[in-house]
Each structure stands twice: as C-alpha cells, then as structure tokens.
Structure 1
C-alpha cells in the first residue's frame, strides 16, 4: 500500500508509535526473520532495553507493525476521501502507488511482502494483516460501486491484484518504470469504467 514510515528522518511520535513505525519499516526492508529487536530500536532511536517496556515479544512488534500499516492506510484513505469523485479517488490511490515505485523496486509492496512472510507462520498474524488489506479492498469496492458499477467487487479485486502483481515484478526486475507504466495504464482503465 504505502510506506508506514517517512524515510527522511525516520519515525516520529511517542516511543510506542516510533517503535511500531520502525518495526513496519525494518520488517519491510529486511524481513521479519532477519530483523532483530535491536534493529528496530536503532531505527526508532530508542534504547534496546526500553523496547521491552512496550513490547515483550517480537510477535507484539509484528502486531504493532500491522497496526502501523492500518493507520497509514486509513490516513491515505482520509486524504483520498477529500475528492468528491470516486474515480479520482481511485486514481489518487494509484498515483500514490506510483510515487512509491523506487521503494517497490527495492523491497516490493509493504503489506504484500509482510503478508507473504506471515503466511508461512502458524500464529494467526497473517489474518490480522489480511483484515487490514481487506479494509483497502472494501474501500476500493465502495468507490467502484459509487461509480455505478454492479461488478464493483470484481473490479476492486482486479485493481488490488494489479498493484500486488506490478509490485512483485517491479521488485523482481528492480525496475521502477514498470510500476509507473502499469500505474498509468490503471488510471486509463479506471477512466474507461465510468458509466
């Protein structure tokens, strides 16, 4: 979806929020298994010992990272909702994805990458992230439905799938231009769906 942490200057806010944002960033950049609590503490600019005051386990940090993804998604949606036209909202979402093309080339989709990693675990955290991604899918469906589309759910799945697919390809080939080209195509596709 979008990066949960502003890379320039790192995460800001209280220690708990900084740790959650840092966890989202470091899990994205290094993966859950390769990330240590010390890595997260360093990015959050919090002493390692303080991490345990807020989060007792790495799994709690994963949950906090999922929460950071959810907050970021809600913030993005709130901004997009300022536009009255649902097609423009969707194109704004796509433009946001395009703006993240360099990060996608380096790491893939923040939520998609984490979802793939969590799917290999048997602790239910994958379902927590699925709920966040379902929220985005539902919002996209609402936009298509507001556009008068009876096939809104199918279109929402197609749009989100196109983004996940192009994120994977952009990352695989380390080619941000792929995301930009697909994003422009998706904008034209959204325009073609207006009744």
Structure 2
C-alpha cells in the first residue's frame, strides 16, 4: 500500500516546475506593468496583482523591484539575440537574414510590450543595461558581423557595414511594436490582421534582401503596384 508521502509526491507538481511557472507569471506581469508605468511608476504590489500571486512571492524570487526589472530586460534581449543563431558561416545569407527579420517581426507582433520596455530603458540612458549592451550585445553583434563580413568577402552579398545592417533591422522591425498606433492610424485599421502582418513582414524582408544584394524580386505575395 502506498504511504501518504509517496501518494503526495505522485500527485503534487515538482517544486522546480512550480518555481518556473511562478517566475514566468511574474516576468510576464512585470513586462506589462513596466511597459505601462515605467520603472519609477511600477510597484511590486501592482505586479503581484497582475500576476495573481502574493507580493511575498515576487520578493522571494526576485528580491527587489530593480532586480525584477533587470530580469525582464535581460530576458527581452536574450530572446531577441537568440534569433541571430541562424546567422552562421555555413548558412545561406538570404535564408539566414530573412529568418532573422521574420523572427524579429514575430516578436514585435506577439511581444510588443517587451519592445516598449526596452525602448523606454534606452531613452532613459540605459542605466540598467549599460554593462549588457557594452559586453554581451557588443560581443554578439561583433561575432555575427564577422560572419556577414565573410559572406561579403565571398561575394555572396553586397558590401555593407554589418553593424549598421543590424541597427537598421532593429529599427525596421521594432517600429511595428513601438509605433503601432502610428501604423494603425496610417493604415486606417484598429489592429493589423494576420494577412496585414504577413504583408508587412514580406515587405520588410524583401526590402532588406534587396539592400543586401541578395533579393531583387517583388516581396513575397505582394501585388504589383
């Protein structure tokens, strides 16, 4: 006969899973609150309410509001930088760059508040991201820029400064999150449909590939104008 301890262990979720689920709920709630109020205006009580958890849980997992904010920022950057993994020496330049653009456009669509939190941090001088930007981000961009420079040297794409290519890619893709209200106003819609998002992604991708000298045809699915 199974004892009570064994029975309890068989039906209760592992502590590690509970911790991961709680941390995810907290980070998602914090992202929403920080996007709406900024770091200065946010409180741990607001975030706890948004997460549906006791405020004590937030302090247990992240300590202070500033530590939670740092975790949100780091998670956003890691998500975006992971999308550069497809840029490898052996990759096809068109596939790698278009894949990166599409990944960034997906993030702008599904995580627009993440882009807003990041943009607000940069506009305030990046006090919580200085080390990350100057070390982690710089190293990643330098590594991927060397790969792109290799493609250029091999004649696989047009000559350009890979660092400025990244700056332009970030600007083009994140504008769909940071300035969504402007885009909706110009396009006279309340929200972009699935088809509109696909059209936007195709337009940006085609534009980038043409600029890189590896895509000269019309955008995928785009009609002649």
Q: Name the TM-score class by shorter chain.
A: 0.5 to 0.7
Residue ranges of structure 2 left out of the alignment (5+ in a row): 1-18, 153-158, 185-190, 215-225
- Among 197, 200, 206, which residue is 1:188 paired with? 206
How many residue pairs get matched? 180
- Structure showing greater radius of gyration is 2
Give the alignment's Cα RMSD to 1 decimal: 3.8
Distance 2:197 2:137 in 1: 20
Aligned to 2:98: 91
Tell me how far 1:72 sits from its aligned partner: 1.9
Are 1:90 and 1:140, in contact at CA under 8 Å, matched by a contact in 2? Answer: no
Give CA-to-partner distance per residue, 1:54-105, whole Å, 9 cap, x none.
Answer: 3332111111111211332344344x3589323312211222233345457x
Question: TM-score, structure 1 length as denominator?
Answer: 0.66
CA distance in 1, matches of 2:131, 2:198: 30
**What is the SS of the residue equivalent to 1:176?**
coil
Please say if residues 22 and 44 of structure 1, whose CA atoms lie closer than 8 Å, have aligned partners that are also in contact: yes
Q: Distance in 1 between matches of 2:92 and 2:36?
A: 35
Q: What is the distance in 1 between the residues matched to 2:117 and 2:132?
A: 8
Q: Which residue of structure 1 lines up, in the alignment, with residue 180 of structure 2? A: 170
The alignment's TM-score, normalised by the length of structure 2, stands at 0.59
Q: Residue 13 of structure 1 aligns to a residue in which SS?
A: helix
Contact 1:137 1:157 in 2 (8 A): no
| Corresponding residue SS for 1:46 | coil
Higher relative contact order (CA 8 A, sep 6+): 1
